[in-house]
A and B are shown apart, each in its own frame.
Chain A
């Protein structure tokens, strides 16, 4: 009997408590930033809970579609297929760009190469070069460390270079695992969000500046001015997608992000905020 009451109590409670939790999902690139934002947001707004899950950008958008998230973090804009899915389900969405991110191309410190062209990078990542012979004059095998196919970073690099990744590319669970792997691998190469290498994360690693066929001036992903001018090859806006219908609920959080406090957290996390600080 007690048991029945208890169950009933739980059920009742779950009905009464209309969720006041803002669920943010997706994008391994943005997840750590989101955690820091949520932590300081909670100090100012203790009643509003924020729960955050990582995974890929696909996860966020899929969760939005599946109605299991309020905000989808995404490091890529949504694609045609997803737009049709949203239309089919009759869900209206809006987006908000809250920062700029750059992808860093990372190799081990002792690999004798100082910058890389987009063409060479495409050849390396698609598996055309199996050794570093032609680029770094070393007979070491190229070991590629990348993200899984559902990662926004993965898609971004793939589309930007218009290649298919080599099938021998190791698919790591997160940016941090890529860095750790390359740190241990003399002949490894990988791509991570610049936020992961800006604050001491680049220990024992080398970040390769990238140049293009048209512009031979190699740009580093850590160069804030060039990023602001949109000069880096692998730079992208970080999106937050949300359902138009849940705007009221998430507004406090969005406002916080846009505000001075939020933007300074974004800056100190190694991303490039939208407004000048």
Chain B
């Protein structure tokens, strides 16, 4: 009897925890989507805010987030992938490369607000880019670099050395080996890492706080030295800073729906690439 009770308790605790974790996700999604979906109309995503932001849509914020993600991609992907290629393909394994790898891994754990400080000191002040979508994008790019480097390196490591040796033996130079053999086979892995990283960057708020995000801009961001609105900051602002918090709550919910949908879409793309790649192999 006692043994049974213990077994029951064990199951109860372990299964219960798992169900609770799933329930948390369920509650988050159900609450946001049930209260936010009604705000999400075509007008909501295609119109600028109106009447002191109590009405209208969030188009400038969507455009701002797209700008931001674009600049992040242009900066972080080439640098991150090149750095990973250097570490994995060119650099001789030594204590130094191990130290570098360890530092990069640890940089992935540095709080995002500290990247914001760095972006402020480096891009806004030292490079005189001012508070702009360029500064903020570069800051998010820095934040993304460690993730892109680690995931790319992992993808490169999975390519067996025999493939590299075969091409080299056929007379290809090292660059040709990387360009024609290693990178194409590692591409799905790299792409998954990149997309997941970008989805994380798109949802970040802390690093853009001091580097260029604006409460409101009466037009669409059209050049990189302008300030911008961004979806995550818009949620923050609508839920804490706005004059009539209760009146704009549906808008805050709606913005959350759009942001979460955008992030999930990116994640699903990454899962799909990973899944397809796995089934092919």
Q: Which residues of A contact B (CB under 8 A)?
A: 3, 6-7, 10, 13-14, 17, 19, 21, 23, 28, 31-32, 34-36, 38-39, 41-42, 46, 49-54, 63, 66-68, 173-177, 179-180, 195-196, 201, 269
Contacts and interface: CB of A to CB of B under 8 A. Distances in A.
Given A32-B53, A53-B227, A66-B125, 16 more contacts: A3-B74, A14-B134, A19-B225, A23-B131, A36-B51, A39-B49, A49-B226, A51-B214, A51-B226, A53-B215, A54-B215, A54-B241, A63-B131, A176-B241, A176-B242, A195-B243
B245 A35 contact: no
Contact of B124 (A38, A46, A68): A68
B216 A51 contact: yes
A32 B214 contact: no
Given A14-B134, A54-B237, A38 B224 contact: no
A52 B218 CA distance: 9
B246 A180 contact: yes
Nearest to B128: A67
B244 interface: yes
A127 to B, nearest CB: 25
B52 interface: yes
Nearest to B50: A39
B16 interface: no
Given A173-B240, A177-B240, A39 B246 contact: no
B63 interface: no
A35 B241 contact: no
Nearest to A19: B225
B203 interface: no
Interface in B133-162: 134
11 contacts: A13-B223, A17-B223, A32-B243, A35-B52, A53-B215, A54-B215, A175-B243, A176-B240, A176-B243, A177-B240, A177-B245
Nearest to B225: A14
Contacts of A67: 130
What bracket does the count of chain B residues touching chain A fall in?
Answer: 20 to 34
Interface in B143-190: none
Nearest to B226: A21
Contact of B227 (A23, A36, A195, A201): A23
B227 A51 contact: yes
B244 A201 contact: yes
B219 interface: yes
B263 to A, nearest CB: 24
Nearest to B243: A32
B241 A19 contact: no
B215 A31 contact: yes
B127 to A, nearest CB: 12
Contact of B242 (A21, A32, A66): A32
Most buried by B among A6, A28, A49, A175: A49
A7 B224 CA distance: 11
Q: What 6 A-B pairs have minimum CB-CB distances, sorted nearest first?
A: A42-B218, A51-B217, A32-B243, A51-B227, A173-B240, A51-B214
Contact of A42 (B125, B219, B225): B219
Contacts of B125: 66
